[in-house]
Structure 1
Amino acid sequence: MSQGGMIVGRAEPGSQVMLDGRPLRVAPDGRFVFGFGRDAAPQATLTVTGSDGAVEHRDFAVAQRTYDIQRIDGLPPSKVVPPDDLTARLARERGMVADARRNTSDALHWADPFAWPAAGRISGVYGSQRILNGDPKQPHYGVDVAGPTGSPVTAPASGTVVLAEPDFYYEGGIVLIDHGYGVSSTLMHLQTVDVKVGESVVQGQRIATLGATGRATGPHLDWRMNWNEVRLDPALLVGPVPTK
């Protein structure tokens, strides 16, 4: 277990499970899922209360990671702080993403293996951060895959499309897929968005094409994952990225 990791567990059906005092959703067969964010504490406690009332505590270590921090000074202010006239748009788009994640389904697709949604070269990693003109910016919470514009982007796991927009300011074309129990994938900087909200998709199904839309310096896919509000590292759930 490490920062950015997602864990699938199983208890006796009918059990109640808590992570550091936070109740977890437990499937009828006893499976449950949780994850750790970029800056998660080095220790966590899982508490399982069986249907017979017996309580079991398990303490476990969360491996701490070192992240790439870049400091860039001397940038024009316009490159660091978005213009004031974008405030309303950015708030609206953030609200749309939050609303899409808020209503999560009872699907169990998070329990199946995940797959890379695009092929190419890793150009950005989870947890990295830039300090621009002395101002720490939000860490990068996804993994970037660089590739040719128009190359296919596929669903990393099955689920339901809960957000599909062609032109967000930062994200460009964006698709958000609900995998159930608070687990979701967000795919950004898409050249085209080929699915609609409410559509069910299966792993490997083409849902979009790779692009350089939004705030992007070149064509790539930014794949992010969440467990509720916790930002996960997608690269920990898959093997090496395919190059073709």
Structure 2
Amino acid sequence: MSRSIAVFVLGLVILGASAASQALELTGPLSQGALVRGQVAPGSEVRLNGDPVRVTDDGRFVLGFDRNAELRQQLTVLAPDGSRRQKTLTLAERDYRVQRIDGVPGRTVTPSEEHLARIRQEASQVREVRDTDSSLTGFLGDFIWPASGRITGVYGSQRIYNGEPRSPHYGIDIAAPAGAPVVAPADGVVTLAEPDLFYSGGTLIIDHGFGVSSTFLHLSGFEVTVGQRVRQGDRVARVGSSGRSTGPHLDWRMNWYQVRVDPNTVAPAPTAGHTP
């Protein structure tokens, strides 16, 4: 090989390495409430607004943005060759509905001091479970809907119970008959199965890895136990009306650690108001 050809080939190798170190792909809507998955060169480090983000060995990661996330987010990628890339993510601002719900049991709208102590303990338990930081990779695949039925509540809506404004709704409500099956939307491991939490009644959480989890509320029963590994489509629970509920339905929620995200950003959109 002549010296000129050798230099040319070496130049291509260097250019190729440089391009790989700068690679950054994002999948998902850049908006408030979104779960966004990404790809960088293997061995890279990722930071969101200065905080480290866990990355798989092959360079994949996930980010979550809450209901009222700042519209400008700073993503930094530190490549294996030492190069640094900074990208400003501009999120789309979302408008949220106002939803009025009457006929809710009064004790769940204005709980007693005794109930407040229970609520705080249960909230702490759920937060601890949602902080699970496993190496599972179920979050990387496509998600499916966990139940079929009419959509009666959406992520982010301002809830007014019995005429009193309360916290926003952070899930998707799917109306379905009591006892209807609930299936795993993606692969994972069951990390919580509580039959009677104050607000959410029968509550199940599945860890999909890297901080991503699905939570199912108001259940009437479980088909799985804590620690059980599940595959997408496996039956995990039954629809109910436990906790703060006015009728049988499934409330499906998703989190990235403590960040509450919209399941609609990873699952196909419902057709004609119904799940597929």
TM-score category (smaller protein): over 0.9
SS of the residue corresponding to residue 44 of structure 1 reads strand
> Do 2:105 and 2:244's aligned partners in 1 also have CA atoms closer than 8 Å?
no
Q: Does 1:45 align with 2:74?
A: yes
Determine whether 1:68 maps to 2:97.
yes
Q: 1: distance between equivalents of 2:133 and 2:167?
A: 25
Selected match of 2:188 from 151, 159, 168: 159
Counterpart of 1:93, as a letter, is: E
Q: Percent identity?
A: 50
Shift of 1:68: 1.0
Dislocated runs of 4+, deviation >3 Å: 70-73, 75-80, 131-136, 240-244
Q: Given the alignment of the two structures, is residue 168 of structure 1 paired with residue 200 of structure 2, yes or no?
A: no
Per-residue displacement from partner, 1:18-45 (whole Å, max 9, x unpaired)?
Answer: 1111110011000010011100111112
1:36 aligns with 2:65: yes
Question: What SS class does the counterpart of residue 56 from structure 2 fall into?
Answer: coil
Q: TM-score, with normalisation over the residues of structure 2?
A: 0.83
Counterpart Cα distance in 1 of 2:33 and 2:196: 28
Name stretches of at least 5 consecutive residues in structure 2 with no aligned partner.
1-29
User: Take 1:101 and 1:77, find their aligned partners in 2: how far apart are those partners?
Assistant: 28
How do 1:42-191 residues align onto structure 2 when only pairs under 5 Å count?
42-70=71-99, 80-131=109-160, 136-191=165-220
- Tell me the C-alpha RMSD between the 2 structures: 2.1
From 213, 219, 228, the equivalent of 1:199 is 228
Distance 1:136 1:68 in 2: 13
Map 1:218-233; keep pairs closer than 5 Å. Answer: 218-233=247-262
The whole-number CA distance in structure 2 between the counterparts of 1:26 and 1:78 is 44
Q: Is the 1:164–1:176 Cα contact (8 Å) retained in structure 2?
A: yes
- Which structure shows the higher helix fraction? 2
Q: Are 1:2 and 2:31 matched, yes or no?
A: yes
Amino acid at match of 1:32: F
Post-superposition offset of 1:72: 8.4
- C-alpha contact (below 8 Å) 2:39/2:61 kept by paired residues: yes
Contact persistence 1:161–1:195 (CA under 8 A): yes
Q: Is 1:165–1:193's contact at 8 Å kept on the other side of the alignment?
A: no
Secondary structure of the structure 2 residue equivalent to 1:214: coil
| SS of alignment partner, residue 105 of structure 1 | coil
**Count of aligned residue pairs for this structure pair:** 243
Which is higher, the Rg of structure 1 or of structure 2?
A: 2
Cα distance in structure 2, aligned partners of 1:102 and 1:125: 24
- Unmatched 5+ stretches in structure 1: none
Give the SS at the match of 2:220.
strand
SS of equivalent to 1:7: strand
Q: Which amino acid aligns with 1:5?
A: A
* Corresponding position: 1:235 with 2:254: no
